[in-house]
Structure 1
């Protein structure tokens, strides 16, 4: 089966990463290789928000609602404080009862692909102010922002799979 353009781009960038060919990123900056991989993955159907901007918005009284579109195991290992888990596998049937449609929503997953699908679903259900965390939880952690689990602050991050793990530069990789 031929690779799609996005899959080929991701595979090529992964191969560069695995071979040590990625450019080093500056503190607080997305690495150029990671940015190219994200550009290949994203459909640009949901506006993005950078981690630093989300940090500022979370300190406001009208902070956005956070939705995590990863697997239950990934969410258990760590997530953004206050995030609500949304099982990606049941996205097509989720109605998001109890979610305040008048407040902004920020969706995220490991790198932003699954959360972009979640954002598309929210748009289809009439949500107007939905953004996708650029680079996902990996970029959040790579820029040294905190993650939490049921016990509190943690360094643990579920890297989704061994193939995606190299994009996670900070934190402690934990496969549950």
Structure 2
């Protein structure tokens, strides 16, 4: 029984310290121009939202959240989004790997008049870390997550790391 308690306390400590470190990383890169939504809140069954994936095509093809629409980052096309999503009051959640690129895309959406835009806290990494499912380009559940490069892969605690050799 003591061993099980020790494991639980250790897991919670690691989880808490990882969370603080993620907080620090996001504070380093983000200015909170787009409010966060937690993975738990997004996963709630009654949460109706449009999901935008703000990663690159090779990342999206490895895996993404179910029903997510690829909008990209480097080649994000606001005019195309505005043409397809004309109701600027619908709830939109933008995500990327950790929540850095998605804040940039979310800010562009807000500047264009979208009123209900959120940034997924911790991105697809946090989604997977919390054991929520992701799908591949064939709509099959997968454990693979594109982590962009080896350095960023440390933030993915669950799942299979996929990346090119970028340092």
Q: TM-score range by the shorter chain?
A: 0.7 to 0.9
More helix by share: 2
| Secondary structure in 1 matching 2:65 | coil
Q: Distance in 2 between matches of 1:36 and 1:70?
A: 21
1:94 and 2:78 matched: yes
Equivalent in the alignment of 1:148: 135
CA–CA distance in 2 between the matches of 1:32 and 1:175? 25
1:89-117 deviation line (CA, Å, top 9, x unaligned)? 122x4221212423100000001111000
Runs of 5+ unmatched residues, structure 1: 1-22
2:51 and 2:101 map into 1 onto residues whose CA distance is 14
Aligned residue for 1:36? Answer: 24
- Indicate which of 40, 48, 52 corresponds to 1:52: 40
Distance 1:135 1:30 in 2: 11
Q: CA deviation at 1:149?
A: 1.1
Which residue is equivalent to 1:66?
51
Point out 4+ residue stretches in structure 1 off by more than 4 angstroms: none
Distance 1:120 1:31 in 2: 24
Measured on the aligned residues, the alpha-carbon RMSD in Å equals 1.7
Structure 1-normalised TM-score?
0.79
Q: How does 1:1-176 map to 2 (within 5 A)?
A: 24-25=14-15, 31-56=19-44, 59-60=45-46, 63-91=48-76, 93-95=77-79, 96=81, 97-99=83-85, 100-151=87-138, 152-175=140-163
CA distance, structure 2, for counterparts of residue 85 and residue 124 of structure 1? 20
- 1:62-106 Cα shifts (integer Å, max 9, x gaps): 610000000000000000000000121122x42212124231000
Q: TM-score, normalised by structure 2?
A: 0.83
Determine if contact 1:68/1:107 at 8 Å carries over to the other structure.
yes
Taking the aligned partners of 2:163 and 2:102, their CA distance within structure 1 comes to 20
> May I ask how many residue pairs the two structures share in their alignment?
148
